[in-house]
Amino acid sequence: MFRLEEFQTAAELEAMEATIRRACDAAVRDPFAQFLFIDRYTRWNGYAGALVAKLSGNLGESQDLFLDPNEPDRAQAVRGMDVAGHVLDATVDEHLDKGHRVPHRTLAQAMRKAAADYAGLTLSERNARSEPPAWLRDVVARTFTCYGSVAHDAEALIRSIGTHIASESMADREYAIIDRVFRAERHEEGFYQYLRERDYRVELGGKLVHAYAWITIHATFESQGVEAEHLAEAMKALELAARYRPEPRERILELAREGYRSFADLQRDFFVNAALECDAAADGRQRAA
């Protein structure tokens, strides 16, 4: 069985969490900085469902690549869909959450709208921020490449499964840290208090949508959410891919690690740049006050 420890050391995990924490602390310095953080984070994460679906589809399409070595009838040995199913598990929730009955993207939009309201931004000010900065465009473009995979290319597909493992494992920590900074440490003040006073709801698309559920369904500072489930499924996908490929386990792990490391670099760049932008925004508001 593959283990998450084979992808990330304890020291790397500690450094990752410190980087996320730094960005969250920068965000809560000022309501406008917090809006920027939420805008950037929801925009980057907004592509997750589509990219996971694409990876699942490419795995399922690659019927010539994943074959059961114990089945002599080649047509009966095809197992690409078995691998794909464990990836698809994550994108089903992204497209229609089981509890809230809306896409996760809708929940993210509700949080962004609440953050803009909390910051007192006008419509023109919100629209002025609709164009992502250059650093975020770069992170998104690299995410497309990293997650993209290629049907009928075994090595590219294994790398992308590694990327998927990274995305799910790191997101579990991201949401938990965000929840700790936004909610646990500021339960009676700031943005979370603002949400509590409004029963957490904002109007979106003609319905009232919970504006903090996007965080808590993924993970909280005190419990795991859907990301832990998605990670378990992603690890199963890698196990099956290794079982149905002729390469030795060491090679499969090497390829998956390459995808994992690529996404880890993306994640670090996102939170480093988000912290810089949030600090600049907060400092600018303090000087203007």
**59 secondary structure, DSSP code:** H
Which domains can be identified in the chain, with CATH numbers?
4-288 (1.20.910.10)
pLDDT digit string (tens) for 212-255? 999 998 888 887 877 788 899 999 999 999 999 999 999 999 99
Please name the residues in contact with 144: beta carbons below 8 A apart, sequence gap of 6 or more: 47, 51
What pLDDT does 17 receive? Answer: 96
pLDDT of residue 8 exceeding 70? yes
What pLDDT does 186 receive? Answer: 87
For range 52-61, the mean pLDDT: 94
Find out whether 171 and 227 touch, Cβ atoms under 8 Å. yes
Q: Read off the pTM.
A: 0.93
pLDDT class for 149, splitting at 50, 70, 90? confident
pLDDT of residue 176 exceeding 80? yes
The average confidence (pLDDT) of the chain is 92
Say how far apart CA 202 and CA 100 lie, in whole Å. 14
pLDDT class for 98, splitting at 50, 70, 90? low
pLDDT class for 96, splitting at 50, 70, 90? low
What pLDDT does 1 receive? Answer: 86
Look at residues 41, 165, 160, 168 and name the one whose alpha carbon lies nearest to residue 105.
41
What pLDDT does 258 receive? Answer: 97
Say how far apart CA 262 and CA 102 lie, in whole Å. 31
What pLDDT does 228 receive? Answer: 84
